[in-house]
A and B are shown apart, each in its own frame.
Chain A
Amino acid sequence: NAGVTQTPKFQVLKTGQSMTLQCAQDMNHNSMYWYRQDPGMGLRLIYYSASEGTTDKGEVPNGYNVSRLNKREFSLRLESAAPSQTSVYFCASSEAGQGGGNIQYFGAGTRLSVL
């Protein structure tokens, strides 16, 4: 049971390049999330998907797009990378929430540098 798998683990981009971060979970979770983590700040939500076929903006969505390809996969795309997008990106998943919270399971993270 792999849990949440993110690829790649590391990436260096030049300003203006595009890339897609992949995330897949094998726990049959409905909800999936993309976060970024920057020094001195808490994890910030970029986008989330409450269930297959739905996506919603989080706190910092500008410069990103997402696709909930199916129940397992939730990808994050940077269309034109900027140095401000240098960060560590985490994907997470949880069971669908009905009021009370559910434990989130995190991927190992992707360290992205934009030069």
Chain B
Amino acid sequence: KNEVEQSPQNLTAQEGEFITINCSYSVGISALHWLQQHPGGGIVSLFMLSSGKKKHGRLIATINIQEKHSSLHITASHPRDSAVYICAVRSSGTYKYIFGTGTRLKVLA
């Protein structure tokens, strides 16, 4: 079993839909990151969370430390949101990050 599990693996949505991507982890962490990998391959960091909730534009990320679970929400989805979304955790007391396998999102116009 992977230490970081994401669901779903693939997601197709219609433009305007509300989208939720989930991440569960099994290790102690100091922070959780959500990353976006564009179709061209580049990776950018969207959020870094250690507790609570963060919002940036149409993106919302939440984390529940007790349940070891995080969600990434996209409101009013748009085709330009099509990408792979990756959850990564920083293992407590280390410099190491553990990555999920990603959720491939396709938003149809």
A: residues with CB less than 8 A from B are: 31, 33, 35, 40-45, 48, 50, 56, 58, 88, 90, 97, 99-106, 108-109, 111
Contact = CB atoms under 8 A, between A and B. Distances in A.
Instruction: From A31, A33, A99, A101, name the one whose CB has the most chain B CB atoms within 10 angstroms.
Output: A101
Given A90-B43, A101-B33, A42 B95 contact: no
15 contacts: A33-B97, A42-B4, A42-B100, A44-B99, A97-B95, A100-B30, A100-B50, A101-B90, A104-B97, A106-B42, A106-B43, A106-B45, A108-B42, A109-B41, A111-B41
Interface string B68-103: 000000000000000000101010010111111110
Contact of A106 (B44, B50, B90): B44
Contacts of B88: 42-43, 104
B13 interface: no
B42 A101 contact: no
Interface residues of B, number: 26
Contacts, number: 65
Contacts of A97: 30, 90, 95
A106 B95 CA distance: 16
B96 A42 contact: no
A101 B45 contact: no
